[in-house]
Amino acid sequence: MAQTQMQLQKDERSLGELFSELAAETGTLVRQEVALAQVELTAKATTVGKNVGFLAIGGAVGYAAMLAILAGTILGLSYLMPTWLAAIFVGAVVGLAAYVLISSALEELKNTNIKPEETVESIKEDAQWLKNQMS
């Protein structure tokens, strides 16, 4: 009996009450979607930031090691050719290696998708739900 009365009360709500409830639920839904987008973007930004940091640190450490190796290589090659020619040769090889490393790192960063895919999909579903509710 109590369930039947509650059902009748739900069925007898005015159009204004229904729209008010819809507006409140829509506001809650929008806040939840914004929170989801914020969490998703923060996670992606953290990943990108960490990779950029590792790239910078790795570059600095590699640079120091490379300077020592290059000096030794130039000195070693100076027994086979003039020192200036050894330096140019080593510089060209190192320049090519740097180009390959930087290009691959930039390509990887370009391919990082920072679009909040889950949030976009969820918003589309919510929009469809809202459209169905209004019909």
Q: Compute the CA torsion angle 90, 93, 98, 101 (nearest 10 deg).
A: -140
Q: What residues does each domain of the chain span?
A: 63-115
Spell out the per-residue pLDDT of the chain, length 135, in tens.
555 555 555 567 777 787 788 778 888 888 888 888 888 888 888 888 888 899 999 999 988 998 998 999 999 999 999 999 999 999 999 899 989 999 999 998 888 877 777 877 888 887 787 778 776
CA distance 41 to 48: 10
Contact 126, 33 (CB under 8 A): yes
Task: Give this prediction's pTM.
Answer: 0.41
**Mutual angle of helices 15-77 and 83-110, in 10-degree steps:** 170
